[in-house]
A and B are shown apart, each in its own frame.
Chain A
C-alpha cells in the first residue's frame, strides 16, 4: 500500500494498457461441486463470440468500457467483469485479489453471491489475471473487502436485476413481480420459477442497468455477508492439493536457484562454475545483471544455477565459486547503526504534528519521564518462500507466481525487460503466506530473465536462506518519548520522536527521511488527549532493501506508544487500563491534519472513516472486561493491555503472562476486541486477529534481522526463530464489535497491539520493562530477571 501512498512509483496501470485476456489458469478454479473447468458453456457475463463449449470465454473489454457501472465507488462494477453463469448453472465469480490465507476467495464470493442471490453450492471461483481493468489488485494494506464491498455488491445486484428482467420477459409480467432466490427466479404471481441457467442467455442480451436502477439488499436480507461461511479453499488444502507458486509445472520446465551478492548493490566478480557444472543434473549457469539503485522490484544480480531438479540446483549453487565485490553498503553493521539511530532520536527532529508547546512544557517541568525503545529489522518469512515460473514464447512472456499484486508484477516486468505489457501475462497462484513480501515481484523478474536467457520455462525457487537474507526488511527503528505529569498524574506534555530507514529508500536512492505515510502509521495518528503534543521524525540512511511488512510502521510505533502509555500510568501510580482510557479521553473525532500532520488515513476519507476515540475506548473496555481486568492474579502472573486503530479498524488486546522463578514465560490467555465496521465473515476476522497477534508476538519475542559487513546474519529457522505450538497462547478469545460502519481492514490490525500488550504484561508480572525487541531472541529460553529495566 505504501508505495502509492508515498507517491513514489506510478500507479500500476501506467505501464500497462488494455490487453486481451488469456483464459484464467486451472489452478485458480474451484467449485463446491468440484473441478468444473469444462463444466458448461458460459452464457452470460461474457462475450459469446468464439466461445466453444468448455472453453473459457474472453472478456469483452469494449463491453466493460461501455458499461454504466464503471463509475461505481470502489471501481468497475460491470457484471461481465465479475460474474458468469454457465448453461449448467455454475456461477463463476472472478476474484481479482490474491488468496494468501485471508480467505479472499471466500469473502469476495460471499459479497457477489449474496446480492446475486446465487445458491452458494453453485459458486465457483476464478482467479483473475493481472490486468488494469480489474482496478486495484494490490492485495496489501488490508483493503480487499474495504475497496470491493460496494462495487461487488453492485455487480451482483446488477446481474440479479438482469436475470429478473429476463424472467419478466419470458413470463410477460412486470420485473417487480419476479424475485431472484437461490439461483432461481420466482414468479411471485403464480409461483413458477426458472433457473439462472435457463435465464442467462436472455439476460445476456439486456443492457446493464444503471446504479440508480439497482436495489441493493437491506442488511437483514443478507444471506452470506456477515455469516461464518466455510472457506472454499480448505477442502482442497486438507488433501494436499497443490496450487501455490512453488507448485507450478510447465512442460519442459527446468529449475533454478540464484546465488545473490550478500550485500545489496554488491557486485558479481569472477565466477568459476566448473564444480557446479560437474554436479549431476546441473545444466548451466546464468549471470544476472548487477543491481543498481534504486532496488525497486528489480532482481538483485548474482548467478543462477539451472538444473533438472531443485536439489541439483541447490547442490550446484553450493559448489559455485563466486567472487563477490563490495558495494556501497559494505560497512553496514547493525550494532553501529543502532547507536547512530538512538543518537539521532535524542536530537530535535522534523516536526510531523504539533499541538500546544511540548518543548516548553518539557523544559519547564521539574520532572520528565523519558523512555527509549528499539525494534530491529524483521523478515516476513512466509511459510512458502518466494517462487516464480516464467515462460517465453514468440516474444511473449507468461508468468505464474505467488504475487500479491499481479498488475505491478506485469508493469515491473514490462519496464525492466523492455517488453510491452500487452505481451506479458501474469497468473497469481495461491500464496503460501505473504505478509507483504510477495507484493515485491523481484523473484518474478529473476525467473523472466533466466527463462529469456535459456529459452525454456524455468521455476525459480527461493530457499529459506534466500528468503531471510534477501528480503525487503521491515525497518529497524529507535523511538524516543518524553512526558510530563502534573501533580494529579495527568500527562500534560508528550513528545514522540521516531527514527527509521524509510521504505522510500527502496524506490528513491538516498531517501533518508521517514515519510508522512509511514509516520501516519501509529505516530501522527496518536489519539491522546494531552494539551501539549509533538511528533517528530529523524533521518536514517538505508543499507538494506526496506519494505512493508504486516502492519508496517505501526509495529514499532505502537510498541513505543503503548509501552510508554503504561510507563506513564506506572509513574502516575495508576492502573494501566484506566490510565490508558484517560489518555484516550472523551468521545471525539481526531484530525491530525488540523495539527500540521500530513495524514492520509490509509487512503480513507476521514468523514467515512474518522479517528473516533469512542470506538478506541470501547474496544479497550471490552478487551479488559473479557480478560476480567482487575482480578487478583497469582504471583508471577501479569496482565497487560494495548489498543490501536490501524487500517481503519480498532483493536484492543489484553494478554496474560506467567513468568516463573527461573524466568520461563508462558501465555495462558489473550483477549482481543475488534471493531472493523461491517464484517463480511466473522471467521475470517477471528482467524486474522489470532494470526496477526501471534505474528506480532513471535516477532516481539524472537524476531531480529541484523547485518554484519552489509550482509544479513540470519539464515534459517534456527537463528530466525518463530513461534511454535508449545509457545502459542493456550486460549485466545476474540470479540467482534457489532457495527454498521463501512468495512475496514482485518489482515493487519491485529499485529500492532501484540508487542506492547506483551511487554506491559511482563512488566506487570515481573516489574521488568522491556524496551528493546526482541525480548528473548533466537536462543533465549528465559527472561533474565536480575535488573529491573533493560537497556
Chain B
C-alpha cells in the first residue's frame, strides 16, 4: 500500500510491502544510497538516519511506522552542526573506505546537537553503536572534538 513519508523535508510516495525496513525503502525504492547496509540487525550503525531528530537504525525500523515523522538521511542533513562535522571530517581526512561514515556522521551530528562539549565517555556512549572496520575511531574522536570547538 502506498504511503507518504517525509524525507529530507520532501513528501515521498512509497509503495513497499508492509513492514519493509526504512533502509531498503531508501536504497531500493528511492535510490537514496547514502544510508548503508552493514548488518541488518541494529549492530553496526551503518544505516543510521534521524527520525524527528534522533538517531535511528533504518535496518530494523519498518517504514510504515514512520508516517508523519521527519526522516533525515545523510544526503539531506544540514545545519550548523552538520556543517561543522563535515568540515572536521574533511579537514582531518577521517574516512578510509568511507562505507561506515554516513552512519558515523549521522551519529556524531546527533551527539553534538545534544551536547556541544562531549567528553570521551560521551563520545564512547554515542558512537559505540557504529562499527568502523577500517578502524577510524581515533580520527572520529578527534574530529568530533574539532567540530565541537567550532560550535
Chain A residues in contact with chain B, CB under 8 A? 100-103, 230-231, 233-242, 244, 246-247, 249, 255, 279-281, 309-312, 314-315, 381-385, 430-435, 461, 463-464, 683, 687, 690-691, 693-695, 698, 716-718, 722-726, 728-732
Contacts and interface: CB of A to CB of B under 8 A. Distances in A.
A384 B128 contact: no
B43 to A, nearest CB: 4
Contacts of B128: 724-726
Nearest to B24: A311
A308 B3 CA distance: 18
Nearest to A431: B97
B108 to A, nearest CB: 11
19 contacts: A231-B95, A240-B33, A240-B34, A246-B27, A249-B31, A280-B17, A309-B20, A309-B28, A383-B36, A383-B100, A385-B37, A432-B36, A432-B99, A433-B133, A695-B135, A698-B135, A725-B123, A725-B141, A730-B120
With most chain A CB atoms within 10 A of its CB, the pick from B28, B34, B120, B123 is B28
Interface in B84-125: 86, 89-90, 93-102, 105, 120, 123-125
With most chain B CB atoms within 10 A of its CB, the pick from A249, A695, A728, A730 is A728
Given A235-B90, A309-B16, A717 B29 contact: no
Contact of A433 (B24, B39, B134): B134
A724 B132 CA distance: 7
Nearest to A730: B120
B131 A724 contact: yes
Contacts of B39: 464, 716-717
A240 B35 contact: yes
Given A237-B98, A239-B34, A723 B135 contact: yes
Contacts of B35: 240
Given A240-B75, A255-B28, A101 B98 contact: yes
Contacts of A385: 37-38
Nearest to A235: B90
B133 A246 contact: no
B120 A101 contact: no
A517 to B, nearest CB: 26
A383 B141 CA distance: 19
Given A234-B93, A238-B101, A246 B33 contact: yes
A311 B17 contact: yes
Interface string B1-38: 00000000000000011101100100111010111111
Contacts of A722: 131, 133
Interface residues of B, number: 58
Given A231-B93, A249-B31, A255-B28, A238 B99 contact: no
Given A431-B97, A433-B97, A724-B131, A716 B41 contact: yes
Nearest to B75: A240
Which secondary structure characterizes the binding site on chain A? loop
B44 interface: yes
Given A101-B95, A240-B73, A687-B136, 16 more contacts: A234-B90, A234-B93, A237-B89, A239-B75, A246-B27, A309-B29, A311-B24, A382-B133, A383-B46, A383-B134, A432-B98, A432-B100, A464-B38, A716-B43, A717-B44, A728-B141
A789 to B, nearest CB: 30
B71 interface: no
A656 to B, nearest CB: 15
A730 B124 CA distance: 11
A465 to B, nearest CB: 8
Given A384-B38, A461-B37, A716-B41, A237 B137 contact: no
B98 A234 contact: yes
A383 B90 contact: no
A310 B28 contact: yes
A614 B36 CA distance: 46
A430 to B, nearest CB: 7
Contacts of A691: 96, 134-136
A436 to B, nearest CB: 12
B93 A238 contact: no
B56 interface: no
A33 to B, nearest CB: 16
Which 6 A-B residue pairings sit nearest by Cβ, starting from the closest?
A: A240-B34, A432-B99, A101-B97, A240-B74, A242-B33, A694-B135
A726 B124 contact: yes
Nearest to A384: B99
A239 B17 contact: no
B38 A718 contact: no
Contacts of A103: 96
Given A383-B46, A725-B124, A730-B120, A233 B31 contact: no
A238 B34 contact: no
Contacts of A382: 97, 99, 133
A435 B97 CA distance: 11
A694 B140 CA distance: 14
B137 A728 contact: yes
Nearest to B20: A311
B91 to A, nearest CB: 8
A233 B95 CA distance: 9
A312 B74 CA distance: 24
B40 A463 contact: yes
A102 B35 CA distance: 22
A725 B127 contact: yes
A238 B133 contact: no
